[in-house]
């Protein structure tokens, strides 16, 4: 299951390498990547919220929907203020391809198997998004307000990753090394 | 240990009550919620001090005593821009965090 989750995200890595090899995404493309990345996790969260019977997984999924919706609202408001129309690009397309695969996989699962796959994917996904923020989006953003928003969002993605890791460890019956209320 | 005052409206009401009750040495300790953290993470306070949290982050958070039974404080959901204030009534320690984001936590150490 983790191999599947990671293989779909490797498409993202290849796409970002293509950007790195040229000049990085422009601000309109960055805006599109941000909105797409948030929308993907909102969709996965809504699916998990409706399907899981595990209270902690449901709570996590609900938080993903709430948080990523809040970020998308701010991203959309900023794009409007700046007069930037988010521009589709290969990275957004890669993210969407991975999301379609993930949703298809999740729809084929139920019970504990669903919970494990959803959470495992959330770990991989948030790590991939964090890497994208650090290696591509922040370095490439030219508009100061757009860069500032991405910088401000970064800790939220890192916190989501931490939360997902804690939950993943719990579902796997392992002790988590991720920080929890400590 | 702490008397919670919820929401911005409660903060204003709380300030009116506090105006007559603050001793000369009592402080108002400010805590920022930003970058998914409480800043500062560790607070040293004295009985009589007030502690005010302001959510300067992009997401909603809570300020909640993480003790499982009878938590001493719970702000409820603080939207970005909202504040929450308590007055320290007795000495003790509170390990608190955000109920929405379990990676966030901090400490209050209150002395006499």
Q: Which two structure tokens, joined as six digits, stand for B89?
A: 């009534």
Instruction: Give me the pLDDT at residue A17, please.
Output: 53
- Which position has the token pair 């993943």? A168
As a whole number of angstroms, the distance between CA B80 and CA A66 comes to: 13
DSSP string covering A46-73, please?
HHHHHH---HHHHHHHHHHHHHHHHHHH
Asked whether the beta carbons of residue B101 and residue A163 sit closer than 8 angstroms, the reply is yes
How much is the pLDDT for B68? Answer: 87
ipTM over 0.95: no
B16: which 2 tokens? Answer: 């009116």
User: A71 CB contacts (<8 Å, ≥6 apart)?
Assistant: A34, A38, A153, A156, B58, B59
Nearest to A91 by CA among A124, A132, A142: A132
**Nearest residue to A115 (alpha-carbon basis) of A55, A42, A180:** A55
Tell me what pLDDT residue A143 has.
Answer: 96
Structure tokens at B5: 């005052």
Angle between helix A55-82 and helix A27-51 axes, rounded to 10 deg: 160
Could you report the per-residue pLDDT of B13-23, keeping only the tens digit for each?
333 233 334 45
Contact A181 B102 (CB under 8 A): yes
* pLDDT < 50 stretches in chain A: 1-5, 20-21, 182
Number of A:B CB contacts under 8 A?
A: 48
Nearest CA in chain B to A165: B103
- pLDDT tens sequence across B67-103: 989 899 999 999 999 999 999 999 999 999 999 999 9
Nearest CB to A155; choose among B36, B60, B97: B36
Burial of A125: CB neighbours in 10 Å, binned 0-12, 13-18, 19+: buried
């Amino acid at each position: 299951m983790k191999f599947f989750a990671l293989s779909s995200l490797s498409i993202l890595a290849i796409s970002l390498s293509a950007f790195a090899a040229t000049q990085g995404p422009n601000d309109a493309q960055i805006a599109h990547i941000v909105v797409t990345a948030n929308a993907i996790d909102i969709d996965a969260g809504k699916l998990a919220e409706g399907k899981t019977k595990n209270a902690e997984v449901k709570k996590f999924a609900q938080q993903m929907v709430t948080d990523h919706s809040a970020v998308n609202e701010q991203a959309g408001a900023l794009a409007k203020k700046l007069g930037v129309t988010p521009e589709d690009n290969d990275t957004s397309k890669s993210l969407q391809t991975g999301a379609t695969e993930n949703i298809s996989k999740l729809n084929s699962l139920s019970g504990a198997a669903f919970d494990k796959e959803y959470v495992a994917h959330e770990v991989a996904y948030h790590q991939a998004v964090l890497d994208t923020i650090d290696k591509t989006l922040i370095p490439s953003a030219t508009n100061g307000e757009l860069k500032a928003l991405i910088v401000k969002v970064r800790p939220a993605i890192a916190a989501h990753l931490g939360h997902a890791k804690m939950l993943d460890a719990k579902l796997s019956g392992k002790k988590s090394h991720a920080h929890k209320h400590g | 240990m702490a008397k919670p005052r919820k929401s911005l409206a409660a903060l204003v009401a709380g300030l009116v009550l506090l105006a007559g009750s603050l001793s000369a040495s009592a402080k108002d300790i400010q805590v920022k919620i930003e970058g998914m953290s409480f800043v500062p993470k560790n607070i040293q306070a004295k009985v009589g001090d007030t502690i005010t949290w302001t959510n300067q982050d992009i997401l909603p958070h809570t300020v909640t005593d993480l003790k499982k039974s009878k938590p001493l404080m719970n702000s409820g959901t603080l939207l970005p821009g909202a504040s929450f204030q308590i007055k320290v009534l007795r000495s003790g320690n509170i390990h608190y965090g955000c109920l929405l984001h379990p990676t966030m936590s901090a400490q209050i150490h209150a002395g006499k």
